[in-house]
Amino acid sequence: GAGVSQSPSNKVTEKGKDVELRCDPISGHTALYWYRQSLGQGLEFLIYFQGNSAPDKSGLPSDRFSAERTGGSVSTLTIQRTQQEDSAVYLCASSKPYQETQYFGPGTRLLVL
Amino acid sequence: DAKTTQPNSMESNEEEPVHLPCNHSTISGTDYIHWYRQLPSQGPEYVIHGLTSNVNNRMASLAIAEDRKSSTLILHRATLRDAAVYYCILRDDRGSTLGRLYFGRGTQLTVWP
């Protein structure tokens, strides 16, 4: 079946602009996660959605970052007033209800000039 | 989540077994040991996980020390496709507390033909 998909694959933007990154989780997966990976670094947790529960936003690095999940499926990560340090690969993952395994998408490579 | 320690890099020849170690001396009784790997330019993928007993699946084996303070991921016959960064992660998998994965720096495995 289809895996986690993310769009766009690559995004180049200018400093100060807003960007939206999209994640389509695997059908039936109620948990959705956003991570980011800066060049040569490990993965950094950003935000976690589980069903209709309030999201765990504890990993968002600043108030310029926000995410929403509409209808319990598609999620959008928004970065406002982008900065050069926001350049990274943004990864989305999903999992079945209360299942241990997370399935990752291919990521969106964001470059802020 | 408890911290894990892995070597920065390891090398192997193709078709030889590979033993990737992980130390987790502060593991708690409810922490599961998860392994993910990340191939170049891809999102991480699940490899295996376990609690106390050794585990086998089609990708690898997981050997867990009796005191659970260390574990070893075993690739029985390395292939060029196994070249990746391997992450050892501890997570409390009790259903109500499922959430983020804490990725460290992992072990970069190089496989030589």
Q: What is the pLDDT of residues A23-71, one digit of tens each?
A: 999 998 989 999 999 987 788 999 999 888 888 898 999 999 999 998 8
Contacts of A104 (CB under 8 A, 6+ apart): A4, A91, A92, A93, B43, B44, B45
A91 interface with B at CB cutoff 8 Å = yes
Whether the Cβ atoms of residue A26 and residue A1 lie closer than 8 Å to each other: yes
Residue A99 Cα, gap to closest chain B Cα (Å): 8
Q: Do B43 and A50 touch (CB under 8 A)?
A: no
The residues, ordered by sequence, that sit 6+ positions from A40 with a Cβ below 8 Å of its Cβ are: none
Check if the beta carbon of residue A103 is closer than 8 Å to that of residue A26.
yes
Residue of A38, A43, A60 for testing the chain B interface, max B β-carbons within 10 Å: A43
Rounded mean pLDDT, A90-107:
89
Please give the mean pLDDT across all residues of chain A.
Answer: 92
- Split at pLDDT 50, 70, 90, the class of B31 is confident
Tell which B residues from 83 to 112 touch A, by Cβ distance under 8 Å.
Answer: 87, 91, 93, 95, 98-106
Q: Which of B45, B100, B106 sits opposite A59 (nearest CB)?
A: B100
Contacts of B1 in chain A (CB under 8 A): none
pLDDT category of residue A98 using cuts at 50, 70 and 90: low
Q: Report pLDDT for A7.
A: 97
User: How many CB atoms sit inside 10 A of residue A51's CB?
Assistant: 11
The confidence score (pLDDT) of residue B20 equals 98
Q: Within an 8 Å CB–CB cutoff, is residue B29 touching chain A?
A: no
pLDDT digits (tens, 9 = 90+) for B65-87: 999 999 999 999 999 999 999 99
Task: Give the C-alpha separation, B30 to B27, whole Å.
Answer: 8
Note the pLDDT of residue B43: 93
Q: Is the pLDDT of residue B2 over 70?
A: no
Which helix (H) or strand (E) segment holds residue A34: the answer is: strand A31-37
A34 vs B: CB within 8 A: no
